Amino acid sequence: MREPILVNRHTDWNKFRDLVTERSKHSDTITTITDLEKSIQDLTHTLQWAAEQSTPPMPHPTFSIRQPLHCQALLRNRRITRKRWQCVRSKSAHQEYRNYNNLVKKELRTVRNDFFAAFFERLTPSADTNYTLWRATKNFRRAPIQPLPPLLVNGTWIRDNSEKVELYASHLKQTFSPRDFPDIHIPELDSLPPKTFSFSPHSVAYVIDHLNVKKAPGADQITGRLLRELLRFGILWLTRIFNAILRL
């Protein structure tokens, strides 16, 4: 299932900036590793929450075809003639049912063609309609998902999906389990170089301004566009996190 998108073309960016700025003013000081992890989690949740509060839901396009009144009348008459033919089993009743059935198929085909013709005429490649042309054609270019074939394990064929899942889970658990390595002696240094390097809010803002907003987001759904909308307090929050990573 596709992950939900945090923002769309109706996002109120002024509201997003105000919400993030208000929460950024109350961010805690980072002195320990626990504070650092909590600050990263709070910043992530703040960006996600502000984006959700500032973005109205997009109406999902529907492909249902509402039958016109004359088609509904034809469908009703077809049901009546079919019931009559099933009761009497006469040749004339059967012929009447077949006539209505062919007429219904013809009218439904016409209605369906008119619906899709009108639907494709409304598609545009511009941002005003949220790129409806690209979204409509995306599914045609997508490769179909092939079902997983049966697996042969120790001379036994596994066909059930739940058994396949258990097999892959045990394989991944064995593959990524920690391994025992001999202890390697690392000589201690008499003196470490001083930690003089630190990030400045200007350097963080410079990197954010040059992010590619078309890059796909990660699991947290935070895009480059979200980071670009951060104001002064959001930039300072990020800077404190980066400097705490170097310091701790």
Residue 212: which residues within 8 A CB-CB, separation 6 or more?
A: 224
Residue of higher predicted confidence among 197 and 19: 19
Q: Calculate mean pLDDT across residues 184-198.
A: 68
- List, as own/partner pairs, every contact residues 200-205 make where C-beta atoms lie below 8 angstroms and the sequence separation is at least 24, other chains included: 200/239, 201/232, 201/235, 201/236, 201/239, 204/235, 204/238, 204/239, 204/242, 205/235
Q: State residue 218's pLDDT score.
A: 84
pLDDT over 80 at 53, yes or no: yes
Q: State residue 47's pLDDT score.
A: 92
pLDDT over 60 at 3, yes or no: no
pTM: 0.53
- Residue 235 C-alpha from the chain's centroid: 27
pLDDT in tens, 116-149: 888 888 888 777 666 677 777 776 777 777 778 8
Q: Transcribe 155-221 into DSSP letters.
A: TEEE--HHHHHHHHHHHHHHHTS---------PPPSSPPP------HHHHHHHHHT--TTSPP-TT-
pLDDT in tens, 197-244: 788 999 999 999 998 888 888 888 888 888 998 888 889 999 999 989
Cβ-contact 231, 18 below 8 angstroms:
no
pLDDT in tens, 57-114: 876 655 566 778 888 899 999 999 999 999 999 999 999 999 999 999 999 999 889 8
Q: State residue 122's pLDDT score.
A: 80
